[in-house]
Chain A
Amino acid sequence: MKPRKSYRIEASMGALPIDDGAQERHAEIMNVLGVIKESIIPAREISASILEEHRRDMQEALRLKVELDSIYEAIERTKREIATLRYAGAQGQEITRVTDELGAIVVGTESATNSILAAAEKIDELSSNLSSRLSGGDQEIAREILDHVISIFEACNFQDITGQRISKVVNAMRFVEERVHHMIDIWGGLESFKDVETIADSSRQGEAALLNGPALSTDKGVTSQDAIDALFD
């Protein structure tokens, strides 16, 4: 070890007491400084780390954007489907028409069934009268007519069952209709759908567009037979 250098100030202050632990403390301080130096990350490394983190954030943001775009597209498609269901369902008419059509079936079959019953009741009455005036084989024929009249009464049972089945379908349709209305409300009501493009029904083009089936009594633009007759006179 080299002899310790003596400074002038030390000479002017006279001899200092010898500190035996100075060398040891110095070495300790130097060691700590070394550790601190090693633990300090170079600025270049810090920049690279921040950049990597930023790059990852950007990738995540882009991925989120792609997902948001697909969600947006799905929402738009759903709105278009809802608008089509609301405005263009059931062959260009509102979906409510379907329930009206089913209601018309019930009324129509009930009316027809009552006409059949009225005719059967008349046949029943006439056959009974006829039977009382006849005898032998002729009376037997009149009885057979009465048996067939009973078959007509039995067959007319269908109307009640048909009516109940159709009522179930009508209720199911109303349920769907309500759900559509609720979905429209969720998206801000009908006003928010006015600009949504509906899906075109390709089957309703050319002559097919003229086929509307039987009209309901509430339909507009329906021509009466009298008006048609007037057109041809």
Chain B
Amino acid sequence: MSLDLSTPVLVVDDYQTMVRILRNLLKQIGFNNVDDASDGQAALEKLRAKKYGLVISDWNMAPMTGFELLQQVRSDAELSSLPFIMVTAEAKTENVVAAKKAGVNNYIVKPFNAETLRAKISAVFGA
């Protein structure tokens, strides 16, 4: 995978303030093609309707959590290789291990800074 700043990014979070923060930080990194969804179900619909290059998702959302979204993405033949970063306040080891087992590419614990986001995205794309 290579880092292409023009690739569409999907931000998934039920907190509009966090969506706004992520949009701005992604803009600072150079991503200008950013969409958002308020839960896993809405995100899955968007992922099946448009080709995205990266998903940045919260965990705790309803009706579909970010973890369930990750499982759905990894079990979907069309989406299974999509880079997926979890950005969440869930910091327990069991959460991180579960997400890793489910196939998450990287994991950021809130609160985070722009440098952490940049570093994790770079790590996912091997940049």
Contacts and interface: CB of A to CB of B under 8 A. Distances in A.
B123 interface: no
A121 B24 contact: yes
Interface SS majority for chain B:
helix
Given A124-B24, A156-B21, A150 B89 contact: no
B25 A117 contact: no
Central interface residue in B28, B111, B113, B114, by most chain A CB within 10 Å: B111
A72 interface: no
Interface string A145-175: 0100010011011111101100000000000
Given A114-B17, A163-B15, A157 B110 contact: yes
Chain A interface mostly? helix
Contacts of B114: 150, 153-154
Interface residues of B, number: 16
Contacts of A153: 21, 24-25, 28, 114
B13 to A, nearest CB: 8
Interface string A213-226: 00000000000000
B25 A150 contact: yes
A111 B60 CA distance: 21
A158 B111 contact: yes
A159 B24 CA distance: 16
B20 interface: yes
Given A154-B25, A156-B17, 5 more contacts: A117-B17, A120-B24, A160-B15, A161-B111, A164-B89
29 contacts: A110-B17, A114-B20, A117-B17, A117-B21, A120-B24, A150-B114, A153-B21, A153-B24, A153-B25, A153-B28, A154-B21, A154-B111, A154-B113, A154-B114, A156-B17, A156-B21, A157-B21, A157-B111, A157-B112, A159-B17, A159-B18, A160-B15, A160-B17, A160-B18, A160-B110, A160-B111, A161-B89, A163-B15, A164-B60
